[in-house]
Amino acid sequence: MNTKLLRIVIDSLEALKDETGREDLRLPLVLTLLHVADRKEVSHQELSKLTRVSQSATAKNLMTLGEGTPAKGLEGFGLVDSFEDPLERRRKLARLTTKGKEVMKAIETKAGRFINA
């Protein structure tokens, strides 16, 4: 087992919990965030392939990472913004919000100790 990689994942989860104050984190949610952070903009369909979850699960993860589901009283994390592709209206894209970029810096700082070790 690659203990260095495991340590990075654990530290990423802990840093995300610290930065958001949320305990309701699941690994697919964190993987979705990391993939969005790795790109300037990414389509929902591409995220589904990258994270190996269904498109409906990807949409749910992006809502949780974004504004949530106000109609159900579920507050989102405010880390990701989903929007319509201006060139292809049927396609949805995702990108980090300003808050998402700040949280990713904190995660990279904490996890970076092991990446650079």
The model's pLDDT over 68-112, given as tens digits with 9 standing for 90+, comes to 887 777 788 999 999 999 999 999 999 999 999 998 888 888 776
- 67 within 8 A of 53, measured Cβ to Cβ: no
Tens of pLDDT, residue by residue over 7-61, are 777 877 888 888 788 887 888 888 899 899 999 899 999 999 999 999 999 999 9
The radius of gyration computed from the CA coordinates of the chain, to the nearest angstrom, equals 14
Instruction: Residue 56: count other Cβ atoms within 10 Å of its Cβ.
Output: 9
The CATH number for 88's domain is 1.10.10.10
Tally of structural domains, the chain: 1
Domain that holds residue 96: 3-115
pLDDT of residue 78: 93
The pTM is what?
Answer: 0.83
Is 114's pLDDT higher than 90? no
Band (pLDDT 50/70/90 cuts) for residue 115 is: low
